[in-house]
Amino acid sequence: MALSSAFNKFYKSFRNREITKQLCGYLQYATSSSLIKNEDFGANALKPVSEDLSTITPYFPNTFNLAAYVNQSDTLKNLVNLNVNLSKIEKKPFIVDKILKLDFEKDMKSHIIFLNDFVGMEEIGNFITKNPMILCEPLEDLQVRVNYLYSKGFKGDQINRIISKNPFWLMFSTIRIDDRLGFYQKCLTLCGREVRDLAVKQPKLITYNLHAVKCNLFVIKEEMGFEDNEVKEIVLNKPKLLMLNQRNLLERFNFIHNEMKISHQTILKTPEILMCRKFRIKQRHLFLEKLGRSQYNPKKENYVPIKSLIEDTDTEFCRNIAKCSVDDFNTFLKTL
């Protein structure tokens, strides 16, 4: 682990110089061998040559990106035809270095056929853009990881969803995935079916940085003051909450709970309100308050559902909830 991170650092520092050197090596490999064969040391440089010289290519200078080489490489061309975004891959030179060693027919084809069963042809480009390193994993390992999911009782379409939504899932060994599923099971006291639902609903959460997840669980439980079973309900309803920035999450909650006076019970019923950016909730709430319509209690008249603050466009919000024109709302926004 430490070794690989040191490796990454090394490559980052050497960035493009390293890639290009490597690349020049591969692309010129074929040409240089033929050159040596044909070389005739005593020949006059100006003498007309009768041999086939089409295998000789000009020298590839060092460059900063893959675009310089894409016209010469069939592998890269095929990747572009699959809609892989090379400009995003080349941002990480150490990945480029590994990808360039692969040959399309020999190394990539079987992987792409394998992934096609789970991801679908339209999404495969996107998938490889996000996780090009999948092409370097042994195919048997990938099959083992899929089999592991079957053994844990996931259905076929669930596995398709997991793999297509989270391109990094298959990079994790079965032991690590098992650890992580166990972590969520223990942390939130979930039963087997609930763990599966969580993994299918938000596959990225399982491979997410566990430190961030623990922080967010702490924020929801200790700082916001939800009970254990309530935390479980919220997380199962909106798993993405665990992947947010903890400071933003707490700021939103503070505004909703302390300034809008929304109770924990209401937030529990509509946890999506915590997913909305604070300024959007704030401006709609202040507008309703100005109109005297900020009444979020369903038992009294003129009830405004809390969900209406986050969904729909401003025009629909003004027409259905605030009962005024959107221009009034825009004028109000210019007084903030």
Partner 1 sequence: MVQFRDAVSAYKALNGLICVYKPPCVPVKQVMHIVKTNLCRDLNALPGRPIEKRVEIVGSTTEPMQVKLVPNYADNPLVCGPRYINDDIRCSWATHLGLFSSGVLLLGINEGTRITYKINVGRPTRAFKVHGQLGKATDTYFWNGRTMERSTFHHITREKMDKVVAHMQAAHQKTMFEQSGLQMDSQQTYELASQGLIRPADNKLPVIYGMKCVYFNPPNFTLEIQSVNEYDKYLWTLIHDLGVQLKSTAYCTAVQCIRQGKFDVDLALLRKHWSLEHIAYNMNMCQEILDENERLLKPESAILSA
The residue (of 66 and 213) whose beta carbon lies closer to partner 1 is 66
Going 64 to 65 to 68 to 69, the CA torsion angle's sign is positive
Per CB under 8 A, does 139 bind partner 1?
A: no
Q: How does DSSP assign 106-131, residue by residue?
A: IIIHHHHHHHHHHH-TTTHHHHHHH-
The residue (of 24 and 210) whose beta carbon lies closer to partner 1 is 24
Choosing from 65, 126, 174, 308, the residue that interacts with partner 1 (CB under 8 A) is 65
Closest CA to 100 of 142, 52, 132, 144: 132
Yes or no: say if 272 and 236 are a contact pair by the CB < 8 Å rule: no
The residue (of 86 and 95) whose beta carbon lies closer to partner 1 is 86
The CB-of-111 to partner 1 minimum distance in angstroms stands at 19
Yes or no: say if 154 and 162 are a contact pair by the CB < 8 Å rule: yes
Per CB under 8 A, does 136 bind partner 1?
A: no
Could you give phi then psi for residue 80, rounded to 5 degrees? Answer: -65, -40
Yes or no: say if 288 and 304 are a contact pair by the CB < 8 Å rule: yes
The CB-of-67 to partner 1 minimum distance in angstroms stands at 4
The residue (of 297 and 330) whose beta carbon lies closer to partner 1 is 330
Binding range to partner 1, per CB under 8 A, among 65-73, 104-112, 139-147, 152-160: 65-73
Binding range to partner 1, per CB under 8 A, among 80-88, 154-162, 170-178, 287-295: 80-88
Per CB under 8 A, does 84 bind partner 1?
A: yes
The residue (of 85 and 185) whose beta carbon lies closer to partner 1 is 85
Per CB under 8 A, does 67 bind partner 1?
A: yes
The CB-of-233 to partner 1 minimum distance in angstroms stands at 32
Per CB under 8 A, does 86 bind partner 1?
A: yes
Size of interface with partner 1, in residues (CB under 8 A): 26
Q: What span, in angstroms and rounded, lies between the C-alpha atoms of 263 and 231?
A: 15
Using CB under 8 A as the binding rule, the residues of this chain from 244 to 303 that contact partner 1 are 279
Choosing from 66, 124, 146, 219, the residue that interacts with partner 1 (CB under 8 A) is 66
Q: What span, in angstroms and rounded, lies between the C-alpha atoms of 144 and 186?
A: 25
For residue 2, the 8-state DSSP code is H
The residue (of 1 and 336) whose beta carbon lies closer to partner 1 is 336
Q: What span, in angstroms and rounded, lies between the C-alpha atoms of 151 and 89?
A: 33
| Helix, coil or strand: residue 88 | helix
Per CB under 8 A, does 71 bind partner 1?
A: yes
Using CB under 8 A as the binding rule, the residues of this chain from 21 to 60 that contact partner 1 are 50-54
The CB-of-282 to partner 1 minimum distance in angstroms stands at 10
- Percent helix, percent strand, percent coil in the chain, to nearest 5: 70, 0, 30
Phi-psi region of 311 (alpha: psi -120 to 50; beta: other; left: phi over 0): beta
Per CB under 8 A, does 83 bind partner 1?
A: yes
Query: How many other C-beta atoms are found inside a 10 Å radius of the C-beta of residue 65?
Result: 15
Name the site residues for partner 1 (rule: CB under 8 A): 50-54, 65-68, 70-71, 76-77, 80, 83-87, 279, 314, 330, 333-336
